[in-house]
Chains A and B, each alone.
Chain A
Amino acid sequence: MGLGRKIGDYLDVRLGIRDILAQNLTRYLLPRNINAWYTLGAVLLTLFALQFATGILLLVYYNPTADEAFRSIQRIMNEVPFGWLIRTVHAVGANIIILALLMHMLSVLFMGSYKAPRELTWVAGFLLLLLSLGMCLTGYLLPWSQLSFWATTVATSSSGEIPLVGDIVLRFLRGGAMVGQPTLGRFFALHVMGFPLIFGLLVLIHLFCVRRVGISRPPFGPEWRPAEPPVAFRHEEHHGGIPFFPHYVAKDGATIAFFLALLLAVVFFAPGLFFPPASFEPADPFTTPRGIKPEWYFLWAYQTLKIFPNEFLGLAVQGIALILLLLLPFLDRSPERRPARRPLFVSVYFIGIALFIALSVWGHYS
């Protein structure tokens, strides 16, 4: 008897481990017409694990003080063996994660998977997206370069436009009137501890919801019919479906490999893609560099603020758009999920994507 089987038997006698594995892997059946878009959750889990691992490694050499932060990053990039690799994977990984998060959200929207009984899964997922953007924003300041300093100055200054409490919010975000050591301290604490803790909890809630309710069936094919609104809890079963392991795990693995290849392609062949020249200069609070722009995923917000006559109006529009998205399952209550039978939603969906791209491109070139 092999050692693996002995360990398996030992755990099985005490914890019934084989039954748990069978329930969640081989006997866990997914819809036969499940598609590759459903693998994005596994892709995101993998990418977040990679961010977590590289983030811990960066903490070994990173020094979160205004005097030392930039130098410690330079040291990681130029002196520590493979420091450039760890840091570039972390920085590029954040961008790939936002891309995967957007794709995940768009696929869920298109297939109407946010609808009852999966409203809570959507809310947890949307909060995860916002929290990820928060982690990107706080992480952006940490290198303490001209880019990070001034991008954070611009990003935080818009909060000062909130009526009545704007100034308090702004000072609270920055830890003072201007971006400085207090800002670095609180952004560092949020980035490495505060946000990841909330993030971990939300991931657990999201996964619990996914597993408890069951995977939604893609709304395609002639036999698909809208489900009746739920009146009691029911786990969605897929009799005659494909097992999660090994069938769907193989598909998950393929998409994960694709995203990792994309990540490594940028790291090795275009490492400067997300590092404009201002990211190689130490922060100088007295010299604003020309043409500071936020990262691509904030360009739409940046441009929105510019096209409205006052900043508060721009902020309000952004806030309303985000709240509408968060509450979408409670507003769009029809059980119909087939895109072809939701022409109004699909039109708004594509206009929304086009608007996001157009605003981003405009923001980039403005």
Chain B
Amino acid sequence: MQRSSRRKFLASLLGTLGAAAVGIATYPVFKYLAPSRSDERGGKVTIPRAQVGVGQARFFQFQGHPAVVLQRGPGVFAAFSAICTHLGCIVKWVPEKGEFLCPCHAGRFSSDGKVLGGPPPKPLPSIPVAISGENLLIG
């Protein structure tokens, strides 16, 4: 009885120490593999106004995600996330029609980001744009 309880105690002690060792070894590996969020942070993006013509769009990276800024009319700018709200493909700007088209499942968005047709459930998230001299401050 006494031997059995001592064996049980040693086994559970060894198990606890083993589990602690595995935990200690797993933590650095988890942190090592955990994706970095440094490229998803960050402030505003500056783009020269001259690079976005009237009726034209320009794609750029905003906080780690693709985004698009367009000049809808003279001096009227808007920026959106370029990720389709259906299944995450990147929309493209169709200047002839003045709308965004998602090439994956033909989702269509207007120049103010609203859904015009196709499967997207939500409009494109909008990003604030301010004019600062010759530049656009986005974000």
Contact = CB atoms under 8 A, between A and B. Distances in A.
Interface of A: 57, 60, 80-83, 85-86
Contacts of A81: 28, 31-32, 34
Given A57-B33, A60-B32, 10 more contacts: A57-B29, A80-B32, A80-B36, A81-B28, A81-B31, A81-B32, A81-B34, A82-B29, A85-B28, A86-B28
Contacts of B29: 57, 82, 86
Interface in B30-88: 31-34, 36
Interface of B: 28-29, 31-34, 36
Contacts of A60: 32-33
A60 B32 CA distance: 10
Contacts of B36: 80
A55 to B, nearest CB: 13
A82 B26 CA distance: 11
Contacts of B32: 57, 60, 80-83, 85-86
A81 B37 CA distance: 12
Nearest to A50: B25
Nearest to A253: B14
A85 B31 CA distance: 11
Grouping DSSP codes into helix (H, G, I), strand (E, B) and loop, the A interface class, with mixed when no group exceeds half, is helix
A214 B28 CA distance: 40
21 contacts: A57-B29, A57-B32, A57-B33, A60-B32, A60-B33, A80-B32, A80-B36, A81-B28, A81-B31, A81-B32, A81-B34, A82-B28, A82-B29, A82-B31, A82-B32, A83-B32, A85-B28, A85-B32, A86-B28, A86-B29, A86-B32
Contacts of A85: 28, 32
A30 B32 CA distance: 41
Nearest to B27: A82
A159 to B, nearest CB: 37
Nearest to B28: A82
A79 to B, nearest CB: 8
Q: In the A-B complex, list the 8 residue pairs whose CB atoms are closest, starting with the nearest.
A: A82-B28, A81-B31, A82-B32, A82-B31, A85-B28, A81-B32, A86-B32, A57-B32
Contacts of A80: 32, 36
Nearest to A53: B29
Nearest to B33: A60
A16 B45 CA distance: 65
Contacts of B33: 57, 60
Q: Which of A81, A85, A86 has the most CB of B within 10 A?
A: A81
Nearest to A54: B29
Contacts of A82: 28-29, 31-32
B23 to A, nearest CB: 14
Q: Which of A57, A80, A82, A85 has the most CB of B within 10 A?
A: A82
